[in-house]
Structure 1
Amino acid sequence: MVDRTGGEPQIDGRSTRWDEHKAQRRVELVDAAVALIEEEGTAFRVQRLAERVGLPRSVLYRHFKDRATLDELIRRRVVESFMRRMEPTLSFEGTVEESVQRVVGAHLDWVVEHPRLYAYMGVGEHAMGDGSLVADAKSAIALMLADRFGDILRALGLREAPIRSVAVGIVGFVDTAVNQWVHDPGREQSEEELRAMLCRSVWAVLDATLRDLGVELSPQQKVSELEGI
């Protein structure tokens, strides 16, 4: 509605309420799509979603620009779920070993609980490449790890260290190993064996990095007891 007295244009409250309703409906439809993928797999069809929510396909599409937009919103919701699981584990509480086990375990546990969503995160062009949601999520986790590693190094009196590259390498290694394991029909390791191998490998990288910097740190060292942490 236009204010004809010369003031600022007025916003129609009915329009705002309708926009909020459409946004909430879009959230509900994305949630329904995520649940459908959990149940039926990555071969996601819009017609199945329409049937699930009781809408004609043409009506459902009014909430999204196109199929690519719907796919992007679904992946974004899945990535948000993954990040919610990971972020609390990056606080580094307890011993160094327990911290490693917690971060690696959170990644593996989420994948085991949501294998179809994990597969959907990497479907098609979004599997790899700069700018993809999956690449952004990995980068975010690596940067958070690097910040915490940096805190530990500073507490040990080390101001400069190539810890960001190490964090990126660790995240890439864990994700690649888990991805290979979850898609391998003839798994050579059980879930617990994979978990133990990943934790040993991550600690080995951290230990080697610290030793190169002249520091020997026990995996049983409590992070909170390091000066400045």
Structure 2
Amino acid sequence: MAQRTGGEPQIDGRSTRWDEHKAQRQVELVDAAVALIEEEGAQFRVQRLAERVGLPRSVLYRHFKDRASLDELIRRRVVESFVKRMEPTLTFDGTVEESVRRVVGAHLDWVAQHPRLYAYMGVADHAMGDGSLVADTKTAIAMMLSDRFGDVLKALGVKEAPIRSVAIGIVGFVDSAVNQWMRDPERELSEEELREMLCRSVWAVLDATLRGYGVVLSPNDRVADLEGA
């Protein structure tokens, strides 16, 4: 029991250890749920998760407020995986073309490798700005792109370009195209063809935007050289 000495409560070490154990157990259960979705699909049942971890369903639920809180933690874990894959690509190393391919490729690769997690997230049901975790993630990636684009443009002497709108448009376009491709039972493009189409389209948007401000670049220009211009 917590005792007061000098007006300050003392924390029971046993309680702290239990909280740590409960938090660690919750992480393990969320990991198991993610693995279950990867194997069996987005519409997983909590009973299957309980069987997988060897716990009665009632005991499993002691670690979560309800099914909605479990789903929220799973979504956060999936988003963490996606963002972890995307963040390193936003450094824009190499040429402009290589940078575009790296970003587009990371998005498409993650989705192709984790189709059931992608379906579980219900990406198509969330547009940027709707306040959901998925929407906030799309917006965060767009803002990271915007900041990086902005740095390059400032180095080129362009300070007033609507780069935030361009970045949001690019993320929305790539996301919509990939989502449609994933849902299409009769895909008109192979994964590699989709990758090429997306890269060409993203470059076309960037090129048109830059030309509107009097900047003409080659996709073979190195980003580091542009920033040092």
Counterparts of 1:5 and 1:42, CA distance in 2:
52
- The equivalent residue for 1:33 is 33
What are the residue-to-residue correspondences of 1:135-214 with 2, within 5 Å?
Answer: 135-214=135-214
Counterparts of 1:127 and 1:169, CA distance in 2:
15
Segment drifting more, 147-156 vs 115-124:
115-124
Counterparts of 2:13 and 2:131, CA distance in 1:
37
Following TM superposition, the consecutive aligned residue runs of length 4 or more in structure 1 with deviations greater than 6 angstroms are none
1:82 counterpart letter in structure 2: F
Return closer, same or farther for 1:106/1:5 CA change in 2, 3 Å cut-off. Answer: closer
How many residue pairs get matched?
228
Measured against aligned partners, the alpha-carbon deviations of 1:95-131 in whole angstroms (never above 9, x if no partner) come to: 000000000000000000000000111179x644621
Measured against aligned partners, the alpha-carbon deviations of 1:28-58 in whole angstroms (never above 9, x if no partner) come to: 0000000000000011100000000000000
> 1:58 aligned to 2:58?
yes
- C-alpha RMSD of the superposition: 1.4
Paired-residue identity, %: 82
- The equivalent residue for 1:220 is 220
Measured against aligned partners, the alpha-carbon deviations of 1:65-103 in whole angstroms (never above 9, x if no partner) come to: 000000000011000000000000000000000000000
Counterparts of 1:201 and 1:191, CA distance in 2:
15
How far does residue 158 in structure 1 lie from its aligned partner after superposition? 1.1
- The equivalent residue for 2:110 is 110
What are the residue-to-residue correspondences of 1:123-134 with 2, within 5 Å?
Answer: 127-128=126-127, 130-134=130-134
Measured against aligned partners, the alpha-carbon deviations of 1:167-217 in whole angstroms (never above 9, x if no partner) come to: 000000000000000111100000000000000000000000000111101
Counterparts of 1:164 and 1:63, CA distance in 2:
41
How far does residue 161 in structure 1 lie from its aligned partner after superposition? 1.1
- The equivalent residue for 1:23 is 23
Counterparts of 1:30 and 1:83, CA distance in 2:
18
- The equivalent residue for 2:121 is 121
Q: Quick check: 1:89–1:106 contact (8 Å CA) kept in 2? A: yes
Counterparts of 2:228 and 2:123, CA distance in 1:
43
Counterparts of 2:169 and 2:103, CA distance in 1:
14
Return closer, same or farther for 1:63/1:130 CA change in 2, 3 Å cut-off. Answer: same
How far does residue 4 in structure 1 lie from its aligned partner after superposition? 4.1
Counterparts of 1:29 and 1:84, CA distance in 2:
21
Q: Quick check: 2:146–2:167 contact (8 Å CA) kept in 1? A: yes
1:113 counterpart letter in structure 2: Q
* TM-score normalised over the length of structure 2: 0.96
Counterparts of 2:58 and 2:195, CA distance in 1:
46
Q: Quick check: 1:89–1:99 contact (8 Å CA) kept in 2? A: yes
Q: Quick check: 1:121–1:127 contact (8 Å CA) kept in 2? A: no
Q: Which runs of 5+ in 2 are unaligned?
A: none
2:190 counterpart letter in structure 1: S
How far does residue 7 in structure 1 lie from its aligned partner after superposition? 2.8
- The equivalent residue for 2:88 is 88
Secondary structure, in 3 states, of the residue corresponding to 2:9? coil
